[in-house]
A and B are shown apart, each in its own frame.
Chain A
Amino acid sequence: MRNVFVETSNVTRFLSALTALQQRGAEEACLVVVDGLPGLGKTTTLKNWVSQTGSVYLRAKKEWTPSWFMNELLGVLKVHPPHAFQKKYAKALEELGQRQLSAQYDRRTFGLVIDEADHVSSKSAILETIRDISDIIELPTILVGMGRVNDNLNRFPQVASRVSQKVRFDKATLDDVKALVGARCEVPVADDLLNFVLKASDGFNREILEAIANIERFGLRNEPEDGGLTCHDMAGQVLLKSRVSGNPIHVPEMV
């Protein structure tokens, strides 16, 4: 499989939301919520964005407290955490502010990404701390969740009102599957098999990648004819495992 990051429609929407965030009217509204079911490429997209921009990435834990959150943030920033919470807070603001300034000089976007934000989206203490940090230094903060973040945030209007952009990661379309397979698969694939990949994977990127690995494994051993590997060529082969039942899905002779 080729090591290429593919810009699917979800990625394009995410990048557009960040561009829109920079042109926001209210300076304090710098929260972005990225939501979607597991396996739609949220974490991959965010990891790519964080690597490219040098932003700060944190993965929320179920038992996070404000103090634990702050310690982890300072740990990622490589600052020795002081004992008192107010000192930790001041230190985090100072460090994040410096990094943001440095990124601005370099004409880069800089932000704080909190993955698995469902764990903290119902904890007011942590949300308020995040809101304070984001407000004071106008730091774009991206909360990444699996469908519950938006609903949970509605309980905290002072936080929800600062959400400037909401990005929903949807299931892949046929164009997305074509883009993914075209860029990453080392074997050409015909349209009928692409359609079956979309149907069998139900549009989940994780399953599409599994299908690409199996198609490639087969295609490298049995060179396809012009026009790419078809369903007929791969008939009876395992394409991927069903997310619902866990059973293998075989490629039929005809779709």
Chain B
Amino acid sequence: MQPGTVPTTLLNALADGSCRTMDELDGCVDLTRRQISDGAGSLIMRGLLERVEVGCYRLTPNGQQAAMEGRIISSGPYRPDRGRCRAAQPNTLRQRAWNAMRMSGAFTIGDLVMAAACGVEKDPEGNLRRYLKALVNAGYLVELPVRAASSKLTSNGFKRFRLVRDTGPVAPVWRHRSKGLFDHNLGDSGEIVLCP
């Protein structure tokens, strides 16, 4: 059974707006009593169903409209995630580097490594180089025209960057599959920012 099938079946069974008991529903839909109870709970959480009395259910006006529109109830979130009760962000190298970027003016990858690395990373420079490339492509950072000097004879120096789009305290996350950065700070529950 696909996720969301149970509440959708229940929504359709009560589409006429009448009040039905558990026994009546048990007789007319191909669901167990436990599934009917769970499905009713899911619809109540969405504001589509009301419990008139114990074991007796009726669709709300919103529920009737949803049934008329033929809405499919999915198993996803039923309200926007506003980050109020979110768990602490993972303490990753990229998160720490993002913290450092937010409080610095111009910086090189070396500056970020110094501030963010804690000694257990395998290749912090390589990691941050890839991350900064994505941030530059997505318009979060700009590359400054003048590089920082290096002490090595043939070195071209180090690229310097500046953060121009500080969207919030949570570091944007690179998502390989969508080739974009997912920014938790944007919108109600984050947005994808594509890297052209």
Contacts and interface: CB of A to CB of B under 8 A. Distances in A.
B169 A77 contact: yes
A3 B114 CA distance: 5
Interface stretch (A45-53, A151-159, A223-231, A235-243): A45-53
Interface string B29-70: 000000000000000000000000000000000000000000
Contacts of B114: 3-5, 44, 48
Nearest to B169: A78
Nearest to B97: A51
Contacts of A48: 114-115
B151 A51 contact: no
B182 to A, nearest CB: 17
Given A220-B153, A221-B153, A54 B99 contact: yes
A3 B95 contact: no
Contact size range, B: 20 to 34
Contact of A3 (B84, B91, B102, B110): B110
Contact of B91 (A76, A98, A108, A213): A108
A137 B11 CA distance: 47
Interface string A103-145: 1011010000000000000000000000000000000000000
B89 interface: yes
B152 A47 contact: no
B152 A78 contact: no
A132 to B, nearest CB: 23
A50 B153 contact: no
B99 A51 contact: yes
B168 interface: yes
A24 interface: no
A180 B88 CA distance: 34
A240 to B, nearest CB: 14
Given A105-B88, A221-B153, A54 B104 contact: no
A220 B151 contact: yes
B116 interface: yes
Nearest to A79: B168
Contact of A213 (B95, B151, B185): B151
B100 interface: yes
Contacts of B95: 54
Contacts of B117: 3, 5
A1 B151 contact: yes
A170 B163 CA distance: 32
A127 to B, nearest CB: 22
Interface in A50-92: 50-52, 54, 57, 76-78
Given A3-B110, A108-B91, A78 B167 contact: yes
B77 to A, nearest CB: 20
A250 interface: no
Nearest to A184: B114
A104 to B, nearest CB: 9
B125 interface: yes
A101 to B, nearest CB: 9
Contacts of A5: 114-115, 117
A47 B101 CA distance: 10
Interface in A187-228: 213-214, 216-217, 220-221
Residue among B84, B99, B102, B116 having the largest count of chain A Cβ atoms under 10 Å: B99
B118 interface: yes
Contacts of A103: 88
Contacts of A47: 100, 103-104, 115
B115 A105 contact: no
12 contacts: A3-B111, A47-B103, A47-B115, A54-B89, A78-B169, A102-B87, A102-B88, A105-B88, A213-B151, A216-B151, A217-B151, A220-B152
Ranked 10 nearest A-B pairs via Cβ: A106-B88, A78-B168, A3-B110, A3-B113, A217-B151, A51-B100, A216-B151, A57-B103, A51-B115, A102-B88
